[in-house]
Amino acid sequence: MAGMISPPAAIAFIGLGKMGVPMAARLIGAGFTLRGWDLAPPARVAASAAGIPLGASAAEACRDAAAVITMLPDGKAVRAALEDPAVVAALTAETLVIDMSSSDPLGTRALHAALAARGIALIDAPVSGGVSRAIDGTLAIMAGGEGAAIDRAEALFAAMGKHIFRCGPPGAGHAMKALNNYVSAAGLVAAIEAVAVGARFGLDAATMVDVLNASTGRNNATEVKLKQHILSGGFGSGFSIGLMAKDLATAGALAEAIGVEAPLAAEMARRWRAAAADLGAAADHTAIARLILPQA
């Protein structure tokens, strides 16, 4: 297998949404030669305005690239992009494919096997931290795949993330991301429900948050979501309720597929699916508070 991918190597970045653009910009800032692509014309316009060089097509972006990074809505979109005949023709045995999307881990295992049959290495490396940490390059990156393949991506990951975790074999990164978001989503709902109960009893919501953050109830929601995005009424964390519902469905489906009873995960998947239907998939995920807190 080829060695570490270092600047100024050519990198294709497929998927230029809210997360993709700042992640691509970090790679450019680190000295990589980047070509981006997105199926959506408005995304391409926005990416170009942000200084991201674009290929004329996904295949053109991938041609001669040392690595192809995908940052797409789900594993089905990733597979569709990588199975496009023109993209297939552009990939070689020297190309490292890195799926940084939040994909289904079992689907990732199948895609890994399909690419391996063509001599192409795939690692899954989803991220956590949101847009703000994508901008400043401090994302948490959860990598799954063969160690030698992950070794090749170290400089790429270092440009985009602060905490890089080797989670295990193919699909392990995607499993970890889904389970992380399950814990995050459950903690957010618990925190909002606690505030709803306390407010009805007569407690001040802001004081409750302060107490939680000084006590054992502290979690990501109490620290960076309740005051900043919910009590403020801003609902602008940058991560949609539809994507959270998708990740919760992935976590629940994984538990079921491998025979682990996880009733809370199933309930969270149901609840977030219903919230996405009520509020619209594009709503910020913190807007679930509107269904729990009357004043939100």
Q: Which of 177, 225, 227, 246 is catalytic?
A: 177
Nearest of 6, 65, 4, 3 to residue 34 by alpha carbon: 65
DSSP character for 128?
Answer: E
Nearest of 137, 133, 158, 159 to residue 238 by alpha carbon: 133
Which residues make Cβ contacts (< 8 Å) with residue 275, sequence separation at least 6?
241, 245, 288, 291
SS3 of 146, please?
A: coil
Bridge partner list, 96: 67, 121
Which residues make Cβ contacts (< 8 Å) with residue 243, sequence separation at least 6?
73, 102, 285
Tell me how crowded residue 223 is: count the other CB atoms within 10 A of its CB: 14
| Cα-to-chain-centroid distance, residue 262 | 22
Active site residue 246: no
Which of the residues are catalytic?
Answer: 177
